[in-house]
Structure 1
């Protein structure tokens, strides 16, 4: 029995060294993450009920809400009845079945469609994961099938997403919660590599942040799969459904507004580019250092498709014609943003893969890492974020200025990227120490050159 106990002890010691206990919190700790878990679904639903035909516009008719509250205050409240009606409003069994079928379709496409295998960055345990990159092939097949369906049965056949919007939100949130719970439970199995930021021992916090770094079922990597396929492709199909709904209301595709086409072209271009460049995903912070928990699962399955598409849904019932000049200026903004975003990312990805065709200057740190200090990456530490923000703004401008709700995406995205920049700065300061101070002196601007 002694040798067995020794092996068990060695295994535990090896596990604790490889997976050290997380000693610091983000997002204000367990209470902060618990608050975010409650608030995120409320915001997603709120963007619908706060900006829809059903509630009287964008923003909604507040007089109806105020009168309802006043009535409640003067009579007994049927809590069970209110809860039942609310759940009946949020739950749609048919939407749930559609969503599950779509998710299963994405999994089958991952398994059967051809794609190259890409090696990720070496992990702490010395292993290198291999990812199957065929998200763009899945996108093309999905677009072909959807287009054939719409051509055969007309745009009215693809408007069900618009009419079942709330049911699809609920389905995605349920899926996100189930997946986060599944990977959290599985993270306690022996031999799992944990995320350095998600091993605090607090169940609420670790469930939210993500305890295991790369949860997988065989060769199926759950985190990277969710990041693109049922996230971005769903977003694209929501936009297409919104355009179909507008086409039905306006009497055909020839009458779809230029504002809707700008949003549709800009967002689907962005989505297609991300899917085409899928291998670049495997070098991002999400894959390299973040665990997969509720934060990421609800973010990619619910938040991205249903909050990033608010502009297209708004244009269904607030139809706007912009004219050639305004449309051209907005499209120019989009493609300038895309050019900055793609060129800067290409520079980074080529450099990380040992290539330097532009002979860019770099700073070599004591750890052996190399940090770019010229080209796009000499102008700011995150020039790709600037391109992202310009594109985000170009998707909101077609909605006009009648409501701030359609500018939620650019507002949220600005906060997200600033927060991500600060997380990255903190991570690099710990990793590179004095070399990071030298780097920041050489590249002083964080996102916008000469501004921030």
Structure 2
């Protein structure tokens, strides 16, 4: 490697996720947890029992029975499901290429260049929704229940796609001229494959990382929810009999996805895009984890029909609106401030770097008020499932761990970036996510 390339792509000297053992652990457990959420909470496995009912002996018996059953292993693969998933991914790629969209610049990279990104994720979503709506209108809800029926096969197909993409991107990162992620050039194959060695793997103008972040998994999440509504509608004699709880989950999660897709340019300033490489961590997160674990509530309600009633419905709506209000207004304050606007006359502190840090408004209550809003919405998505099992509350529990880890990464990066100014800032805004608590 030339000295110039070494300067541009220095060797990674500090591990995250506890290094290679942590990378192996996450890579191994993410597929297991994704499958476990189905086999531990599904109609096919006898329902969704509370955690107390899943004793260690029961779990051992179930695992032993599965591992020793050849037919069980064969059931994880479904040719039709694999073709359906491959077709869905191809549709998303074709939509990216064919649908019109503005091209916007990303942030300046270490090599002084700025990548161009095509903005048409929202129109891809509208096209997919139009096709699905037309199919259901023409053939009825039974025409779109196949996602519920082929759930396990679709998970497996998405895992294969995640593995293949991560591996090919790792191999391609060794070509001359690749800009590597600062955290993904350790020289350890497993760790770099997991964390992502190349910062922005692409095929021409097609950026693989940002494409996967918003399109195949995020839009599929909504399509899964719609399929669960259709499954419940078939069982209950039509859409007019679908439960209020199911409609709420569909509405909340669809709105969340639409908001992210509509605000696609905001993605290009996130840590995932500016700092992290594209490896198995992001590929499996985007393609498998998001659509197949975030939709757990809708899948549960497809076979366990919960009626909330008027007051329950209003309470859940209020919780979600509160979370969305915090999330959106906090991000609005930050985006306005970054763009040189300060309509609320928020207080800020100057840093030696010449930049400014907000210390009032939502950003004066805690360092990450957007995380607080996100977690409040996550809770609202689970409340429609009731309280008969804690398993449907897996998402906010996991999300809390994820956001705390992300907050710790951000804190470390900011301390390195701002030095003493960051310590001063943390005294002014001591709370990290939950004001007065953490």
**Into which bin does the TM-score normalised by the smaller protein fall?**
over 0.9
Match of 1:251 among 227, 237, 254: 237
Match of 1:28 among 15, 18, 24: 18
Residue equivalent to 2:305: 319
TM-score normalised per structure 2: 0.96
SS of match in other structure, 1:54? coil
Residue equivalent to 2:45: 55
The answer to which of 24-33 and 244-253 deviates more is 24-33
- Map Cα deviations across residues 307-355 of structure 1 (whole Å, 9 max, x no partner): 0000000011110111011101101110110111111112212222333
SS of match in other structure, 1:51? coil
Match of 1:438 among 401, 420, 424: 424
Indicate how the Cα distance of structure 1 residues 62 and 423 shifts in structure 2: closer, same or farther if over 3 A, else same. closer
- Map Cα deviations across residues 37-71 of structure 1 (whole Å, 9 max, x no partner): 111100000000000111111139869x859949x
- Map Cα deviations across residues 373-408 of structure 1 (whole Å, 9 max, x no partner): 222212111000010001000011111111111000
Indicate how the Cα distance of structure 1 residues 42 and 78 shifts in structure 2: closer, same or farther if over 3 A, else same. closer
Structure number with greater Rg is 1
Give the CA RMSD over aligned residues: 2.0
Match of 2:36 among 16, 22, 46: 46
Residue equivalent to 1:5: none
1:370 deviates by 2.0
Residue equivalent to 1:17: 7
Residue equivalent to 1:209: 195
The answer to which of 427-436 and 353-362 deviates more is 353-362
Match of 2:167 among 181, 186, 191: 181
Indicate how the Cα distance of structure 1 residues 343 and 69 shifts in structure 2: closer, same or farther if over 3 A, else same. closer
Residue equivalent to 2:260: 274
Residue equivalent to 1:383: 369
Residue equivalent to 1:342: 328
Distance 1:218 1:156 in 2: 40
Indicate how the Cα distance of structure 1 residues 354 and 246 shifts in structure 2: closer, same or farther if over 3 A, else same. same
The answer to which of 401-410 and 372-381 deviates more is 372-381
Contact persistence 2:66–2:72 (CA under 8 A): no
Query: Within the alignment, does 1:238 sit opposite 2:224 as a pair?
Result: yes
Contact persistence 2:43–2:303 (CA under 8 A): yes
Indicate how the Cα distance of structure 1 residues 282 and 365 shifts in structure 2: closer, same or farther if over 3 A, else same. same
Residue equivalent to 1:90: 76
Query: Within the alignment, does 1:331 sit opposite 2:321 as a pair?
Result: no
Match of 1:305 among 273, 291, 303: 291
